[in-house]
Structure 1
Amino acid sequence: LYTYGVSKHCIKINSKNAESFQFHTEDYFGKESLWTGKGIQLADGGWLIPSNDGKAGKEEFYRWIIWKLAAMECAFPKEFANRCLSPERVLLQLKYRYDTEIDRSRRSAIKKIMERDDTAAKTLVLCVSDIISLSANISETSSNKTSSADTQKVAIIELTDGWYAVKAQLDPPLLAVLKNGRLTVGQKIILHGAELVGSPDACTPLEAPESLMLK
């Protein structure tokens, strides 16, 4: 990857540390652009305002954009090395998402499901972004009147549609695939017939309770 021009910090990016990644703006614009103190105008009328130490990063959606762009460079270094992961490209991606969700009122699959405007039972293609636990304790209402709830151990992963994330409880077939090492972070899975459990209330993905997940 180095021979194609993929940077070291790009190779180290994964789904977890992408959220904390920051650009060193001097690497892209030089010190002269930072000395003005007015920010840097980029494509499509956007402005980049670095921090006092010359770094920039972290907005809503930032984690998924950084992870995607870094993955594109690593997966296709000959075509995309040193072309995707840049402040300008990230700003364009952020603006596209703002235009889509705010101006055009179009929501992603996970957001519509969490806001109870769509069913989780529909066919979905989601990306595995984290393996949270292989043996989490989950309480479920029991049919036995003498006991209010049963506790069982289940595997919990995090899934994303590229815009937002939701936790998911794996069924036995998917759990077997996970334990065999055939289901890993970065892979996509097809879901059908799932349900949203943990809370009956509609909520936005950023305000979802810890108990909310797909099952």
Structure 2
Amino acid sequence: MSQKAKGWLLVIAALVGVWLIRNGSDTQLVPPGPTTAQGFAGGPELQPGSPLAQPLRPSEPVRLRIPSIRVDAPVMRLGLGPDGSLDVPPAGNRNVVGWYRDGTPPGSLGSAIVAGHVDNAQGRSVFYDLGALQKGSTVEVVRKDGRTAVFSLDAIEVYENDDFPDERVYGASPYASLRMITCGGGFSEKTGYEGNVVAYAHLTDVR
């Protein structure tokens, strides 16, 4: 990947975080947050003894499933708007996940980024329970090529807006990684959610 492409990825990633933080619902729902035990002991790393599957050739994702929190949602492609910011999934659709179409496809070498709403004005959305995941949880991504990339959760952490670790979340990975992002942290009636929940996973199997 060129330095220019890497720069665009970081810019796009930052915009994703800004959008998620500013678009929380004004309802009284309180989504679950990850415990300290589910975070990384140090930096991002694989769980000891966890299998590691060989990366797949690029193929765009079409559906994402997380059985333990009953997520089964279509994946839509996201591009850039006229101002250069990342487009977002429709706020009124509570069961859709967004993937940046020019980024790494889930299952391929590198860090694949997907994002989803935690809630909206009508209630819970697709990633409402993301913070309840635990290490070892399974995430399945059905791809356009008919193969299903199976990921195992390495950690889940919550970051405040002012302390969001861009490089940790969006940096390059030496294996096939998946990063799932939604709103989290504190909530302000004026600005919405004040942070993000980020789940880290790696490819362990292919079906």
Normalized against structure 1, the TM-score is what? Answer: 0.24
Bigger relative contact order, structure 1 or 2 (CA pairs below 8 A, ≥6 apart): 2
Larger radius of gyration: 1
Structure with greater strand percent: 2
